[in-house]
């Protein structure tokens, strides 16, 4: 093979792979258009309270409640869900990532609440590490900021362990500041937590099936309907 044709072959291969120089984290599989399972990670738990603030209570309780609601809504939208914890137990960060990485075709969504020494600080933040999770992060953030009184602290990249270790697209959502009077009160309020879960669920369904495909679960279940209503 001549020098020239070898070069031509190499550059053809590079063209085919879109870009040779920018293939960051090739180990993260882009499942954002195919995923069937959502791994829902309730931040902290057990001996790890997370943030604990006067207004919002323990972060680990608020995250578990939002995560549980989120998983339920996703199941109602026909996804399989796996929770990294479903009670007040401590699960190491590596184990959380491993639970996700064991799934067949998944994305990973970690639910947290924020904390600051400055009570005035408030707003939502969504984090990602691998670029394949970027769209999902933006979508979740876009939906969260439609909540009444919401403020947008932006989508950010971070080297968080649960994100860095993920083999699937992974995001971490900071659902407001427990240290802020208004958002802390929200975290203590069941309907506010349900709305947080609803916004995240809507973003996940949109990401997978396209905008506007999410149907918020009815408050009345089918079984209640059949026992109560007649046409």
Residues that bind Zn ion (CB under 5 A): 43, 50, 112
CA distance 158 to 1: 46
**Which one, 200 or 205, has the nearer CB to Zn ion?**
200
15, 118 Cβ separation under 8 angstroms: no
Provide the sign of the torsion angle of the four alpha carbons 169, 56, 74, 71, taken in this order: positive
**Smallest gap from residue 44 Cβ to Zn ion (A):** 6
Question: What are residue 219's phi and psi, to 5 degrees?
Answer: -70, -40
**Which one, 45 or 50, has the nearer CB to Zn ion?**
50
**Smallest gap from residue 85 Cβ to Zn ion (A):** 13
Closest residue to Zn ion using C-beta atoms: 112
CA distance 124 to 29: 27
**Smallest gap from residue 50 Cβ to Zn ion (A):** 4
**Smallest gap from residue 48 Cβ to Zn ion (A):** 9
**Which one, 41 or 207, has the nearer CB to Zn ion?**
41
> Residue 144: in which H helix or E strand, if any?
helix 134-144
**Which one, 178 or 205, has the nearer CB to Zn ion?**
178
Q: Which candidate, 123, 102, 113, 101, places its Cα nearest to that of 170?
A: 101
CA distance 164 to 64: 22
**Smallest gap from residue 212 Cβ to Zn ion (A):** 31
- Bridge partners of residue 156, in order along the sequence: 127
**Which one, 50 or 56, has the nearer CB to Zn ion?**
50
């Amino acid at each position: 093979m001549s020098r020239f044709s070898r070069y031509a072959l190499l550059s053809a291969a590079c063209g085919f792979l879109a870009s040779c120089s920018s293939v960051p984290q090739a180990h993260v599989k882009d499942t954002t258009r195919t995923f069937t399972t959502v791994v829902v990670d309730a931040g902290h738990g057990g001996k790890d309270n997370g943030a604990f603030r006067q207004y919002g209570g323990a972060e680990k309780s608020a995250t578990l409640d939002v995560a549980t609601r989120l998983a339920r809504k996703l199941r109602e939208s026909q996804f399989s869900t796996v929770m990294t914890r479903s009670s007040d137990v401590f699960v190491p960060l590596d184990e959380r990532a491993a639970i996700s990485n064991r799934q067949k075709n998944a994305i990973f969504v970690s639910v947290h609440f924020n904390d600051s020494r400055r009570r005035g600080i408030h707003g939502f933040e969504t984090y990602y590490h691998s670029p394949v999770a970027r769209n999902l992060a933006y979508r979740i953030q876009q939906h969260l900021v439609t909540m009444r009184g919401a403020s947008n602290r932006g989508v950010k990249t971070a080297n968080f362990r649960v994100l860095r270790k993920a083999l699937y697209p992974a995001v971490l959502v900071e659902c407001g500041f427990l240290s802020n009077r208004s958002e802390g009160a929200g975290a203590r309020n069941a309907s506010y937590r349900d709305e947080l879960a609803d916004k995240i669920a809507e973003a996940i369904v949109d990401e997978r099936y396209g905008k506007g495909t999410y149907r918020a679960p009815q408050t009345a279940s089918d079984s209640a309907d059949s026992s109560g209503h007649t046409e």
